[in-house]
Structure 1
Amino acid sequence: MKNRRTMIAYAVFILILLLIAIYLYYSFVTQEQKQEESTAILKAKQTAGLVATERTWKSVWDHTYWIVEGTDAEKRKIMVWIPFQTVQDGPDIPQQGTEGVHSELLQNGVSEEQMRTAIMSANPDLEIVRLLPGFYKGEDVWQLFYTNSTGYYYQFYKFTDGSPVGTPFSLPNTLR
């Protein structure tokens, strides 16, 4: 009986150690990403006057951008695009000054919900894998990653009016 209790205590102790190790590993792996996100939020608050942050996204296509959605002092929803530059052996950092930082009232563009609705009504046979704001060919866009019966694709839509930018990019070797 005593031996069984000892075994249970050891098993619980090992399980707790394993959970702590997993948490520490996860914290270590996501450390740079969290640092970049915090820097982007701070930059958005400084340059666009955000007082509250709702969501953030990291977009990597031609360049790395962090996009921050939040509200200003007048309680208007704003999206802020912040360009980042790559740093070797460390987290990416925002570009110096306000160069490249762009903010737009959400009411002046297409919201995520509106974009999803427009995409699905125009293409009911596709499945949206991911839709996030980004920056493509010098403009603010919605970056759609989707799948249909022929494979996986990327398509960009203008943030301002939801119109497509270019043609879809197909991923190689993705036939279903």
Structure 2
Amino acid sequence: MRRKWRIAAALSLLVLLLGIAGYRFYTIIQSDTWKEEDTAIQKAKEKAGLVTTDKVEPFVGDRPYMIVSGDNAEGKKLIVWVSETEVHSELADNGMAREAARQKVLQTKPEAEIMRITPGKLENTYCWQVFYKAEKDGKKRLYYDYYQFKDGSLLDTWTLSLQ
């Protein structure tokens, strides 16, 4: 009977130690990302007048950006593109909405499986990047559609093969 208790205690201790090690590993891996997000939020508050933050999401194009969404002092939705060298903000109402970008893709490809929609920057144009999967010629492919933030016009489509 004592042997069973010792085995149970040892296994419980092992599970606890593995849980602690897993948590520690996760926090070490994520710490750089969290630091980048915190820096982007701080820059967005200082330079763009952001008061509250709803969402922070990375975008990697010609250069990496952290996209910070939230409200300004007047309570209006704001989208802020933050890179190492620039901070650019737009009122969400002054551009195409995220849902409108989704609908533009679904109008042309109703079978598309949209995986992600992110504000981004293509060359010198602020835009929405829509990443999705769709079938073409009997094969599944991955696509990136870029829509201009200001007016919703299609800027470009990138096609990737699906392995």
TM category, shorter: over 0.9
* Root-mean-square deviation (Å): 1.3
* Sequence identity percentage: 37
Aligned: 1:171 with 2:160 = yes
Aligned: 1:112 with 2:102 = no
Q: CA deviation at 1:34?
A: 0.7
Aligned: 1:152 with 2:142 = yes
Please tell me whether the aligned partners of residues 56 and 66 of structure 2 are also in contact (alpha carbons under 8 angstroms).
Answer: yes
Aligned to 1:136: 122
TM-score by length of 2: 0.92
Q: How does 1:1-176 map to 2 (within 5 A)?
A: 1-83=1-83, 94-95=84-85, 100-150=86-136, 151-166=141-156, 168-172=157-161, 174=162
* Structure 1 gap ranges (5+): 84-93
Between the two proteins, the alignment pairs up a number of residues equal to 159
Distance in 1 between residues matched to 2:115 and 2:54, nearest whole Å:
21
Of stretches 111-120 and 147-156 in structure 1, the one that deviates more from structure 2 is: 111-120
Distance in 1 between residues matched to 2:90 and 2:115, nearest whole Å:
25
Q: CA deviation at 1:152?
A: 1.0
Secondary structure, aligned partner of 1:160: coil
Whichever residue aligns with residue 7 of structure 2, its letter is M
TM-score by length of 1: 0.86
Q: Deviations over 1:151-175 (max 9, x none)?
A: 1111111111221102x21114x26
4+ residue runs over 3 A deviation: none
Distance in 1 between residues matched to 2:143 and 2:30, nearest whole Å:
27
Q: CA deviation at 1:114?
A: 2.4
